[in-house]
């Protein structure tokens, strides 16, 4: 009796899982996978005689899926479950084709938000550094320079160690904007550090000269 109940429960779970899978859309969120690729017409041969070849953006074939009966509809289907970001082309041997672009989680935009906050903070402190420099406040200038440099360098380090401001797969390998951003941040960090320390030394020497003259 217990075994029968377990079997029935397993079948119900499988049925609910299949029903939960929706037909694939041209653009799929990772959270929406797996999805169903369904043929556009009733094939002449049994579904299991057809396959769906999946290609990446190279294009290189990465999967070959066997079709199954889509219930009693007469159509065929198979499950698409590639969660890696990127563009995919599906070629079914019955003549159907499909293009599917897998997006990342919507929370991925958090990377761009964090980058914007850090960069805005770094640039804001940089402006304060220049203001203090114009006021010939050497102490405040070097403090602002060190803080802004630290922010820029920490942000650059985060990107170097894997933090993505922009997902690289969106650019299909043509360009990695994160590399360019890292170079700019490193440049700003080093420049602010050298600029503020140079001004601090210059101002300190100038004050010493004035004191000696007086």
Q: What is the pLDDT of residues 88-122, one digit of tens each?
A: 999 999 999 999 998 765 556 777 788 889 999 99
Mapping DSSP to helix (H, G, I), strand (E, B) and coil, where does residue 91 land? strand
Domain residues for 42? 24-103
Contact (CB, 8 A) for 192 and 148: yes
Say how many domains are in the chain. 2
Is 45 a member of any domain? yes
Q: 163: closest CA among 205, 193, 119, 210? A: 119
Is 17 a member of any domain? no
d(CA 178, CA 110): 15
Is 18 a member of any domain? no
d(CA 173, CA 3): 52
Give the pLDDT confidence score for residue 124 in this predicted structure. Answer: 94
Mapping DSSP to helix (H, G, I), strand (E, B) and coil, where does residue 48 land? helix
Contact (CB, 8 A) for 166 and 154: no
Confidence grade of residue 10 (pLDDT, cut at 50, 70, 90): very low
Is 7 a member of any domain? no
User: What is the distance of C-alpha 15 from the center of its chain?
Assistant: 33
The pair of structure tokens assigned to 134 is 């114009």
What predicted TM-score, i.e. pTM, was given to this entire model? 0.51
Give the pLDDT confidence score for residue 199 in this predicted structure. Answer: 87
Is 6 a member of any domain? no
Is 116 a member of any domain? yes
**pLDDT tens-place string over residues 138-152:** 888 889 999 999 999
Contact (CB, 8 A) for 122 and 152: yes
Look at the block and give the residue holding tokens 């969120």.
29
Kindly tell me if the per-residue pLDDT of 43 is higher than 60: yes
**pLDDT tens-place string over residues 159-214:** 888 777 776 655 555 667 888 889 999 999 999 999 999 888 888 777 665 665 55
Name, in order, each residue with C-beta under 8 angstroms of 140's C-beta and a sequence gap of 6 or more: 128, 132
């Amino acid at each position: 009796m217990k075994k029968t109940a377990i079997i029935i429960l397993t079948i119900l779970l499988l049925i609910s899982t299949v029903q939960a899978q929706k037909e694939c859309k041209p653009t799929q969120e990772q959270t929406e996978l797996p999805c169903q690729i369904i043929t556009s017409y009733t094939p002449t041969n049994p579904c299991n005689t057809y396959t769906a070849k999946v290609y990446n953006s190279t294009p290189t074939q990465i999967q070959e899926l066997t079709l199954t009966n889509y219930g009693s509809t007469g159509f065929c289907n198979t499950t698409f479950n590639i969660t890696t970001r990127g563009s995919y082309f599906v070629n079914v041997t019955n003549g159907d084709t499909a293009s599917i672009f897998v997006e990342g989680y919507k929370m991925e935009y958090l990377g761009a938000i964090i980058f914007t906050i850090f960069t805005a903070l770094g640039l804001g402190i940089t402006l304060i550094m220049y203001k203090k420099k114009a006021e010939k406040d050497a102490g405040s200038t070097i403090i602002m320079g060190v803080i802004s440099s630290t922010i820029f360098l920490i942000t650059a380090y985060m990107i170097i160690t894997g933090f993505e401001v922009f997902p690289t797969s969106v650019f299909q390998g043509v360009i990695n904007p994160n590399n360019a951003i890292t170079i700019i941040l490193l440049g700003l960090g080093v420049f602010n550090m050298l600029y503020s320390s140079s001004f601090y030394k210059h101002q300190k020497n100038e004050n010493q000269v004035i004191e000696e003259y007086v």
